[in-house]
Chain A
Amino acid sequence: MRTVQLVDLAHARSGDKGDTANIGVIAYDPQDYPLLQEVLTVERVSEHFGSMVKGRVERFELPNLHALNFLLHGALDGGGTVSLMTDAQGKVFSTALLRMEIEVSESVAERVVGRGRVPADFGSALETG
């Protein structure tokens, strides 16, 4: 077994509704969707965010999009114009979830590591146009 990060397996987008942030997590490869279903439980996601989320966590499945949607209640310090947070509208909450560490088999790790990150040669690619 090897440890990878969720960022290797999934991309994500988040938004807000009042004091609730949502995170949509989408498997890069449909074959990894069952793994996300198994690992990203309500308990695991709640534990990951700790005191950053004051209320409960809800999870919804969208197998048609190979995606899960999470609602994090009480995550935005009141939300909207009430909040004192830089990320008052939860725009980048999704990226905080992608930090999560996940145990996968060697073969899965081999396949996914680096998928969600800018390649090492990106800078040089930019310079040479």
Chain B
Amino acid sequence: MIRVGSGQGFWGDDLDAPVRQVEGGKLDYLMMDYLAEVTMSIMQKQRVRDPSAGYARDFVPLMERILPRCVEDGVRVVTNAGGVNPTGCGEAVVEAARRAGVDGRARVGVVTGDDLMDRLDELLDAGHELRNMETDESLSAVRDRVQSANVYIGADPIVEALGRGANVVLTGRSTDTALTYAPMIHEFGWGREEVDRIAAGVIAGHINECGAQASGGNALIDWWTIPGMETVGFPVVEAQPDGTFVVTKHPGTGGRVTLGTVKEQLLYEMGDPSEYITPDVIADFTTIRLEEDGEDRIRVAGVTGRPRTEFLKVSIAYSDGWKAVGSLVYAWPDAAHKAREADRILRARLERLGLHFDAIRTELVGWSSTHGELVGEPPPDHPEVELRIGVRGKDREAVERFSREIAPLVLTGPPSVTGFAGGRPRVQEIMAFWPALIRREAVEPHLKTEILEV
């Protein structure tokens, strides 16, 4: 049996969680997921400004803090913190490891080759059209605006790094779930044909990849009764060679692992549950059997899978215009009426200025920004609403001009208005996503695993 614990569910998650995982109980592997689609394009922008950047910077001090204990206890770290610059991240981690005093006792594995940015034209020329999976358009339509292009890669390079003795494995756009199931493939020697076992590993990965979201965090079921969230225990998967596993958390930590919390996480970001496609297998979530196995322990069995496809998914980010969102707060009496009138005035002014946008959106925060038309208009005695107005368009100047039209409403619109201390809304570049498929053979020969000695 091996224990694979989750340490981060996204870039910006609880920085003490990985420390609790390493110090609070037994663990063999610590997986940490840092990447979402939008993260890749943020990191790419950082790298353009500074060639040594482009990865999760806070991962480096974290390693300095926990690596001595990890090396001591034999806990190996597997993470996609490398972002768009795994090599730069690897070098920084080696430095941190030396500062932490583990020189001569640790290896850092660095996986590269998922980044297609420098190969895009070559790939297009070779006939890989990278058509948008949703619209079927060819990538050439937005080629000159592409900011980042990364392939979701599978377990193989991570397994190789573990086989070569890496204490820390750093990847770029590794599939989130692979950070959990690659250690299982490494430890149990599962072959590619053992699809049911790998599929079980994928499901363990789906449970681990969002951190505490499987162990009481963001749980709707009985949330008011969940204890100790200030020191919530992140999930730990106890995996068996036969593909069954138990989801639990360290003793003495807060949070809760129940059928309810695990089911909620299993359904998070779910598409067709019978066809959860990863680079290594297609997992069938309709075959999962859950049962209680003591306090804060859920046993998972019965998972089946089907062989992997010949394609890998590419996540491409491209610049697609500009947006800005501003807000003002209106107070009782008749708060919503005041907000609606301010919205009307603002829209009329934008019209008079000849500004046109692809979209203008108005929401009443504190009333209907999340449930929209399902809740109608607030009653006249509703104490306050925040008027939130956003625009987007291709013309940056128009969006800039919009951002200067919110403040004047304070003295030139309806009364009882406040909450503009934050200043003018920030104009943001929109990064749109272009999901595409690419044949494996165009990517796999380019994947490299390098071992850095500390």
Where the two chains meet, the residues of A that have a C-beta atom closer than 8 Å to any C-beta of B are 11-18, 22, 24, 26, 28, 48-52, 60-67, 69, 71, 77-82, 84-87, 92, 94-96, 99, 116, 118-119, 122
Contacts and interface: CB of A to CB of B under 8 A. Distances in A.
Nearest to B321: A82
Contacts of B432: 78, 80-82
A11 B220 contact: yes
The 5 lowest CB-CB distance pairs between A and B, nearest first, are A24-B267, A84-B390, A15-B269, A84-B361, A13-B264
A13 B370 contact: no
Contacts of B221: 11, 26, 28
Interface residues of B, number: 51
Given A15-B268, A52-B374, A84 B285 contact: no
Contacts of B116: none
Contacts of A99: 371, 374
A13 B220 contact: yes
A13 B268 CA distance: 6
A60 to B, nearest CB: 5
Interface of B: 37-38, 41, 134, 218, 220-221, 224, 260, 263-274, 285-290, 302, 320, 323, 325, 359, 361, 363, 365, 369-374, 388, 390-392, 428, 430-433, 435
Contact of B361 (A17, A85, A95, A96): A85
18 contacts: A13-B264, A15-B269, A15-B270, A16-B269, A22-B267, A24-B266, A62-B267, A64-B288, A64-B290, A65-B285, A80-B37, A81-B431, A84-B325, A86-B369, A86-B388, A87-B369, A96-B370, A119-B224
B435 A84 contact: no
A80 B38 contact: yes
A65 B265 CA distance: 12
Contacts of B430: 81-82
